């Protein structure tokens, strides 16, 4: 097992290397002069000053040298400065990461728990009216684009009913830390959390259903029933344990979204998280920020893929990794 872990971890390094090089190249090719933002307010700039600055920032180096320097700094956890804000990238990313984590963890916990419960219901009551309705609803919601769903919720709950704010994270007229500010903050979270939770439910409910149905067909459950165990124990103790194994793996694979946020949902609700930061930094030519966000997402994707494999082997005794 340890052997397997070490081997897999070392396999990740080239993959991350390729991804970082690929993304760096793409962003390097983007239009826009990195010095433009810095110098647009300098009226009497001479060409030789411009050249001197390019040399100073290493912008006249070939792309692979620039990439190498950037990567070397990133490994030392120094991602550089934002062109747009003139601040260290870390100071921009950390608050965004915190906001996204609040949003996504709430959504994921609610969404996954509801999805698993609904999936169990659908499987236990297969072909019942409730199962049909749930299946139809997940199928229909699968075809609803997230940005439209978000806007529809805004129309119903903000425009028509006036219960919830349309966007942002907190009202500006409230004193921070007060009771009203906290209530307001939760109100701002309700709609984006709902959109994200619904998309979680769509993905996991069907998966849970089919996984449990697969287990329910097996002989050992007949044995359990023959022993005289109640249906509650048969499903709750015996069936569920095995049915949850693939579901847990799927949950691990989808976890990077918790860190990366959702560019679409955060943009619809103007929520200052990682997804929106990714979008605005790409749109605003702030590539140092964009690169860092992308690399954080890439590392979490790769990490959680590995974690999913490990959890799968750990939970399912039929799987043993060769060392």
Residues that bind another protein (CB under 8 A): 15, 18-19, 22-23, 26-27, 29-30, 139-140, 142-145, 147-148, 151-152, 154-155, 159-160, 166, 256, 260, 262-264, 267, 275, 278-279, 282-283, 290, 294, 297-298, 301-302, 305
User: CB of 19: closest distance to another protein in angstroms?
Assistant: 6
Token pair recorded at residue 36: 């433009």
CB nearer to another protein: give 238 or 276.
Answer: 276
User: CB of 222: closest distance to another protein in angstroms?
Assistant: 26
User: CB of 12: closest distance to another protein in angstroms?
Assistant: 10
For residues 104 and 262, give the distance between their C-alpha atoms in angstroms, rounded to a whole number.
9
User: CB of 50: closest distance to another protein in angstroms?
Assistant: 25
Q: Are 57 and 49 in contact (CB under 8 A)?
A: no
CB nearer to another protein: give 59 or 155.
Answer: 155
Q: Are 204 and 117 in contact (CB under 8 A)?
A: no
Residue 88 DSSP SS3: strand
CB nearer to another protein: give 192 or 275.
Answer: 275
Residue 81 DSSP SS3: strand
User: CB of 174: closest distance to another protein in angstroms?
Assistant: 22
User: CB of 26: closest distance to another protein in angstroms?
Assistant: 5
CB nearer to another protein: give 144 or 229.
Answer: 144
Degrees to nearest 5, angle at CA 195 with 190 and 197: 90
For 81: left if phi > 0, alpha if psi spans -120 to 50, otherwise beta; the answer is beta
CB nearer to another protein: give 239 or 255.
Answer: 255
CB nearer to another protein: give 36 or 139.
Answer: 139
For residues 43 and 40, give the distance between their C-alpha atoms in angstroms, rounded to a whole number.
8
- The greatest distance separating any two alpha carbons of the chain, rounded to the nearest whole angstrom, comes to 90
For residues 158 and 164, give the distance between their C-alpha atoms in angstroms, rounded to a whole number.
5
């Amino acid at each position: 097992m340890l052997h397997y872990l070490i081997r897999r971890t070392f396999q990740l390094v080239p993959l991350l290397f390729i991804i970082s090089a690929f993304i760096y190249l793409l962003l390097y090719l983007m239009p826009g002069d990195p010095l433009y933002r810095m110098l647009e307010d300098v009226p009497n700039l001479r060409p030789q000053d411009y050249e001197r600055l390019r040399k100073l920032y290493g912008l006249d180096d070939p792309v692979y040298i620039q990439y190498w320097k950037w990567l070397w700094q990133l490994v030392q956890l120094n991602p550089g400065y934002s062109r747009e804000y003139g601040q260290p990238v870390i100071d921009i990313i950390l608050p965004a990461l915190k906001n996204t984590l609040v949003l996504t963890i709430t959504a994921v916990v609610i969404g996954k728990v509801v999805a698993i419960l609904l999936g169990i219901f659908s499987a236990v009551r297969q072909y019942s009216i409730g199962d049909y309705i749930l299946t139809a609803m997940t199928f229909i919601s699968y075809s609803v684009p997230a940005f439209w769903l978000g806007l529809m919720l805004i129309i119903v709950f903000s425009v028509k009913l006036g219960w919830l704010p349309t966007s942002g994270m907190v009202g500006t007229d409230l004193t921070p830390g007060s009771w009203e500010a906290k209530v307001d903050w939760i109100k701002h979270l309700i709609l984006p959390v709902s959109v994200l939770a619904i998309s979680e439910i769509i993905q996991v409910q069907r998966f849970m259903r089919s996984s449990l149905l697969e287990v329910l067909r097996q002989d050992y459950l007949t044995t359990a029933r023959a022993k005289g165990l109640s249906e509650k124990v048969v499903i709750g103790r015996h069936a569920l344990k095995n049915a949850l194994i693939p579901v847990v793996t799927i949950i691990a694979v989808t976890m990077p979204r918790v860190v990366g946020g959702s560019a679409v949902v955060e943009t619809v609700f103007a929520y200052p998280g990682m997804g929106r930061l990714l979008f605005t930094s790409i749109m605003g030519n702030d590539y140092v920020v964009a690169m860092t966000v992308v690399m954080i997402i890439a590392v979490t994707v790769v990490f959680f893929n590995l974690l999913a494999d490990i959890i799968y082997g750990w939970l399912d005794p039929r799987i043993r990794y060769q060392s």
